[in-house]
Structure 1
Amino acid sequence: MGIVELKNLTKSYKQNRGIMDVSFSIEEAEIFGFIGPNGAGKSTTIRTLLNFIYPTSGSATIFGKDIIQHSKEIRQNVGYLPSEVHYYDDMKVVDLLKYSARFHGNLNSTRMKDLAARLDLDINRKIEDLSFGNRKKVGIVQALLHEPKLIILDEPTSGLDPLIQNHFFELLAEERDKGATIFFSSHILSEVQKMCDRVAIIKEGKLVAVETIEHLTKNKVKNITITFEQPEQFTFTVDGILKREVNGKEVTLLYSGEIKALLQHLIDLPVQDVLIEEPTLEEIFMHYYE
């Protein structure tokens, strides 16, 4: 059984889009990405999992425990970073972190200072004096401070500059190496590609696919650029052409079929050059969304 299990999890709203029949599982010590554009249902899924909002139907477990019946126990071992961080403005960062650490019954001051230093966060400043990016850093330290078994991060890098993002990803890799499981949502595909073992793609509240990053980028889909000797009518069809663009002598394909079958078709055509490349996650993602 996975650390996180969702079974047909559904949250309906009258006006806003919720989520419908979302099912997937996350294994121990896995970095699992959850991608989709804003409004696709990522935050709704996370907030339902954390029992901040009630599911309409379906069920989910974390550490094998029901998310509604055992939410208190579950939270002891979960670190959570919301997409927007709101705190008591007149508190100093250090006091806020000590206060939140008490909920978990332990404060490791050395760890707090170490995390803050690595994210370049001054813990002696007041919350009201911090920029959006620095408030995000407070949220990251708070989420990691008690060394949770499960770390849930909702759009964690928004507001962080690229250097701090790198430090943050190093921290996550270290936590995973110590045995933590990490679940993070994002609409920035490059960071998902860099960090995750597997990824779930959500579209308009429904799960579209759960794949390994390797499977998404390596096995299925290729970018193929064919250069003809003259501007050519590219008329033939082969199973697996997901998208084609013609630009003068060049034809670009997003192709998920057998390479052999495509080359067979090209053999009798006035082809000057063929370039076969791995697509970016971005291109694959757009294919799922079209």
Structure 2
Amino acid sequence: MAIIELQNVTKDYGDRRGIFNIDLSIESGEAFGFVGTNGAGKTTTIRHLMGFLKPHIGTVKIKNLDAWHDAAEIKQWIGYIPGEIAFPDVKTGWDFIHQQADLLQLMDLSFANELIERLQLDPSANIKRMSKGMKQKTAIVVALMANAPILILDEPTTGLDPLMRAEFIQIIKDEKAKGKTIFMSSHMFEEIEETCDKVAMIKEGKIITIKSISTIMSNDNQQFIIEFSNEQECTRFMQEKIDSVAISNTTASVNIENNTLNKFLAILSTYQFDNLTEQKHTLQEQFYHIYSGGPSHD
């Protein structure tokens, strides 16, 4: 059953700005990634989910309620990290956390304290003097502390260092294991790969493809890097009828279709080589391929 559903959603600001004919369906318990360049329409889409914007055309529903008309009720089920964080006029991180807990009627802050410890956040710090990373950590704590069943996250790791980004990924994996439904936009492809079941790519306000992460990571062909023992072996190998390219005097890159892998390995066994490395397919590779090649309808 779809817990988040957008049908033909259009918000046209003119001059080809906005989002156009957006169709998305996210199942309960699914982690869904959303990627695109700056200005592609990610945040505009998320603002429709949050009921901050009303579409010119189409419908946005969460748990079968209209995201615009029923925004107040829907927000009770959502933990939200905005793309641009603006704190109210409070003194410390703790002041903001307690203020939001009061609004949510949240009495138990044990999960907030756990997140504070995991993210190494000092909530006693003056909120106006916090670094971007500290502000981001504070926003993460507030978004997750009420244990909402739906998480909507707009570039949630902006400003975090690599260690804290890794900890955030683990936190999201833990939330997913609880059965949470997660919608996350990110320019960090590794975050999407490690946490999401599906990903949609948006370009110039239009969805150009929706794919499962498993499909992206396992392709119909495999790429290998072969380090030959000497230049002569590499030169001889380049004469084979294999889709290959020399990347140095002793190293070649090859693309092998899965159904010809055994044939390739048999050929390779007749050569002297020092190392064979498989190059994994990545979301970033797929993203650049589709963005440069135009719309895909897979």
The DSSP-based 3-state class of the residue aligned with 1:229 is helix
Q: What secondary structure does 1:182 align onto? A: strand
| Contact persistence 1:49–1:60 (CA under 8 A) | yes
* Structure 1 segments of 4+ aligned residues over 6 angstroms from their partners: 231-234, 248-251, 271-275
- Structure 2 match to 1:132: 132
Q: Whole-Å Cα distance in 2 between the matches of residues 140 and 278 of structure 1?
A: 31
Which residue of the partner structure matches residue 282 of structure 1? Answer: 284
Counterpart mapping for 1:12-91 below 5 A: 12-15=12-15, 17-91=17-91
Give how far 1:196 is off: 1.2
Quick check: 1:221–1:284 contact (8 Å CA) kept in 2? Answer: no
C-alpha distance in 2, partners of 1:284/1:253? 18
Residue pair 1:221, 1:278 contacting (<8 A) in 2 also: no
Q: 1:41 to 1:222 in 2, by over 3 A?
A: farther
1:165 — aligned with what? 165
Q: Match for 2:32: what amino acid?
A: F
Taking only the aligned residue pairs, the percentage that are identical comes to 36
When normalised by structure 2's length, the TM-score is: 0.82
Give the aligned partner of residue 296 of structure 2: none
Contact in 1 for aligned 2:157/2:165 (Cα 8 Å): yes
Contact map agreement 2:197 2:213 (CA 8 A) in 1: yes
Residue 251 of structure 1 and its aligned partner are, at CA, apart by 6.9
Q: Which shows bigger deviation, 279-288 or 128-137? A: 279-288
Query: 1:93-104 maps to which residues of 2 (within 5 A)?
Result: 93-104=93-104
Question: Does structure 1 retain, via aligned residues, the 8 Å contact 2:53–2:68?
Answer: no
Per-residue CA deviation, residues 240-285 of structure 1 (Å, 9 max, x unaligned), is x9xx977577775778x66449x79xx8xxx998976432221121
Q: Secondary structure at the match of 1:3?
A: strand
Deviations 1:79-131 (A, max 9, x none): 11011211135422112111112222223222222221211111222211210
For structure 2, list consecutive stretches of 5 or more residues without a partner in the other structure.
229-233, 293-298
Q: TM-score, normalised by structure 1?
A: 0.84
Other-structure match for 2:106: 106
- Indicate the SS of the match to 1:4: strand
Match of 2:231 in 1: none
Number of the residue aligned with 1:229? 235
* 8 Å contact kept, 2:8–2:22: yes
Cα distance in 1, alignment partners of residues 235 and 5 from structure 2: 54
Deviation at residue 161 of structure 1 after TM alignment? 1.1
- Relative to structure 1, is the Cα distance of residues 231 and 174 closer, same or farther in structure 2, using a 3 angstrom cutoff? closer
Q: CA deviation at 1:18?
A: 1.2
Which residue matches 1:154? 154
* Root-mean-square deviation over aligned CA pairs: 3.0
- Aligned equivalents of 1:209, 1:272: Cα separation in 2: 42
Amino acid at match of 1:166: A
Match of 1:117 in 2: 117
- Matched positions, count: 280
- Kept in 2, the 8 Å contact 1:10–1:21? The answer is yes
Write the distance in 1 (CA, Å) between the matches of 2:223 and 2:119: 38
| Amino acid of the structure 2 residue aligned with 1:285 | F
Paired with 2:248 and 2:116, the residues of 1 have a C-alpha distance of 54
The CA deviation at 1:288 is: 0.7
